[in-house]
Amino acid sequence: MSTEVLFIDDEAAIRQAVRQWLELSGVSVRVCAGVAEALPLLGRDFPGVLVSDVRMPGCDGLQLLERLADIDRELPLILVTGHGDVSMAVQAMQRGAYDFIEKPFSPERLLDSVRRALDTRRLVMENRQLRAQVARKGQLDSLLLGASPAMVQLRQQVLELAGAPVNVLIRGETGSGKELVARSLHDFSPRAGREFVALNCAAIPESIFESELFGHESGAFTGAQGKRIGRIEHADGGSLFLDEIESMPLAQQVKLLRVIQEQSLERLGSNRSIRVDVRVISAAKPDLHDEVRAGRFREDLLYRLNVAEIEVPPLRARREDIPLLFDHYTRQAAERHGRAAPPLQPADMARLLAHDWPGNVRELINAAERHVLGLASPGLARAPVSQSLAAQMEAFEAQCLHQALQRCQGNIAEVMALLQLPRRTLNEKMQRHGLQRSRYLPAGVSDSEPE
């Protein structure tokens, strides 16, 4: 149980009595003999409340309140006062203290104040979590682009797993964005301030794989002229992303399993064990269960890596996102090359929507780059129709709505006039295609302002 009350008093007998009163009422208590002892325990994430005597050596109630203003202004402080300190306590409440209790006080009076303060604190923490979730969701929307149901579900999975202290396996085709998902898992996790270390297992020669992953000491092998920190050790406190994990040699799979199990490693050429705290995010193209059955991947390692799994959808499974993605990457390419993006003709969009995109988003980025440069994209001109007519019409409708909203800068009245649609029909179509007016508004214009 987390601490609910941090009680500060320089008299041991009072500390013991208050602890007993509150614990008998089911409240978790931690006692401190002074402010200096309590301050290191406090922070914006502290879930409880503070109860403190006013008169204590070194720091009085008003000074404690000033300290709390730098830590968390919304952390409730209940002051316990002698008769002569009432005026000071009133002054402290005017400056933001939650309550004051005059000595001598009954256990019921203290418990009532503590419970009300705890309710206030819980509400503050819940509101902060909600605001943080909304902020993270907005940031993630701009990283993992797409309004299709598959992408909405993917972003929700990332937000749910980012804060979970578990290893994650990401599955998806080449070019589908697995590393971007891995990076998002790190950036939205408590480990975001530490290193995100990426390693493509297929790009490392087997002869140097162990040194690359675990590091080595000077003289460990021919050519090892100095000590080298490996990728795992470099990721200590952060996240290690192992792309194409299916390519990892079996001998190194055994050693990686040991690191995950024991949270320690030994550099090549050393017998000293080094503690590491690493979250492993891995990615694979094939089904690793098939690799296990074929004898190419260790089953015990699979279960350590695959505590949670994320499937990144191929682009062909979310064709309704193609217009939005192509427009986004076209704008990026135009800015990079310092030129205006050529307009996209309906026939060009039809070819984009009909293409199967075997290279997924990576291939789409290449197509956007070539479009800006005025070059034809290989394969697109002769792309066979691989969708039903209804699916192609839906995708084309989404593109028309997107372009109209962009042209009118989110002004719904202008969009209705341009497309000759009634308001209810336009709303239904925008909702079906996941198009939000707020994305098209000029900077500084609120979505709640008149259209």
Q: What local confidence, expressed as pLDDT, does residue 450 receive?
A: 46
Residue 447, domain member (yes or no): no
The H-or-E segment that residue 253 falls in is helix 250-262
Angle between helices 423-432 and 412-419 (to 10 degrees): 100
| The Cα angle at residue 182 between residues 260 and 141, in degrees rounded to 5 | 150
Q: Prior bond to 104 cis, omega within 30? A: yes
What are the C-alpha distances in Å from 91 to residues 65, 70, 98, 398?
Answer: 11, 19, 12, 61
In this predicted structure, the answer to whether residue 222 has a pLDDT above a threshold of 80 is no
Residue range 16-42: average pLDDT?
A: 90
Residue 115, domain member (yes or no): yes
Same domain, yes or no, for 164 and 66? no
Closest of 399, 315, 316, 404 to residue 350, by C-alpha? 399
Same domain, yes or no, for 277 and 326? no
Q: What is the C-alpha separation between 253 and 273, in angstroms, rounded?
A: 18
Residue 138, domain member (yes or no): no
Lowest mean pLDDT among 79-88, 107-116, 238-247, 429-438: 79-88
Q: How many of the other CB atoms lie within 10 Å of CB of 292?
A: 16
Dihedral sign for Cα 365, 366, 372, 376, please: negative
In this predicted structure, the answer to whether residue 323 has a pLDDT above a threshold of 90 is no
Dihedral sign for Cα 285, 286, 292, 297, please: negative
Helix then strand count (H, E) for the chain reads 18, 14
End-to-end CA distance of the chain: 51
In this predicted structure, the answer to whether residue 20 has a pLDDT above a threshold of 60 is yes
Closest of 5, 166, 168 to residue 80, by C-alpha? 5
Same domain, yes or no, for 304 and 173? yes
Same domain, yes or no, for 211 and 261? yes
Same domain, yes or no, for 286 and 198? yes
**CA 378 from chain center: how many Å?**
36
Query: Helix/strand/coil (H, E, C) string of 259-304?
Result: HHHHCEECCECCCCCEECCCEEEEEECCCHHHHHHCCCCCHHHHHH
Question: Residue 264's beta-bridge partner residues?
Answer: 275
Q: What local confidence, expressed as pLDDT, does residue 84 receive?
A: 65
358-416 per-position pLDDT tens digit: 999 999 999 999 999 988 776 665 444 555 667 667 777 877 887 788 888 889 999 99
Residue 448, domain member (yes or no): no
- pTM listed for this prediction: 0.61
Q: What local confidence, expressed as pLDDT, does residue 261 receive?
A: 93
Domain hosting 250: range is 144-313
Q: How many domains does the chain have?
A: 3
Residue 435, domain member (yes or no): yes
DSSP code for 242: E
Retrieve residue 402's tokens: 């997107």
Same domain, yes or no, for 428 and 333? yes
Residue 297, domain member (yes or no): yes
What contacts 24+ positions apart, CB below 8 Å, involve 327-333?
327/402, 327/406, 328/145, 329/364, 329/365, 329/368, 329/369, 330/368, 330/371, 330/372, 332/368, 333/368, 333/369, 333/371, 333/372, 333/373
DSSP code for 223: T
Where among 313, 331, 365 does a domain terminate? 313
Tell me the residue length of the chain: 451
Same domain, yes or no, for 84 and 45? yes
72-121 per-position pLDDT tens digit: 989 999 988 876 667 777 777 788 889 988 888 888 999 999 999 999 99
Residue 217, domain member (yes or no): yes
Where among 292, 313, 334 does a domain terminate? 313
Residues 6+ apart with CB under 8 A from 348: 371
Same domain, yes or no, for 239 and 323? no
Residue 273, domain member (yes or no): yes
Q: What local confidence, expressed as pLDDT, does residue 429 receive?
A: 87
Share of the chain above pLDDT 90, in %: 41
Angle between helices 107-143 and 178-187 (to 10 degrees): 160
Where among 291, 313, 335 does a domain terminate? 313
Instruction: Classify 7 as helix, strand or coil.
Output: strand
Q: What local confidence, expressed as pLDDT, does residue 392 receive?
A: 66
Same domain, yes or no, for 159 and 171? yes
Give the amino acid at 235. A
Question: Residue 53's beta-bridge partner residues?
Answer: 80
Same domain, yes or no, for 415 and 343? yes
Same domain, yes or no, for 164 and 309? yes
Question: Residue 198's beta-bridge partner residues?
Answer: 241
For residue 61, the domain's CATH number is 3.40.50.2300
Residue range 205-209: average pLDDT?
A: 86
Highest mean pLDDT: which range of 276-285, 344-353, 428-437: 276-285
* Residue 162 near residue 133 (C-beta atoms within 8 A): no
Same domain, yes or no, for 47 and 70? yes
For residue 205, the domain's CATH number is 3.40.50.300
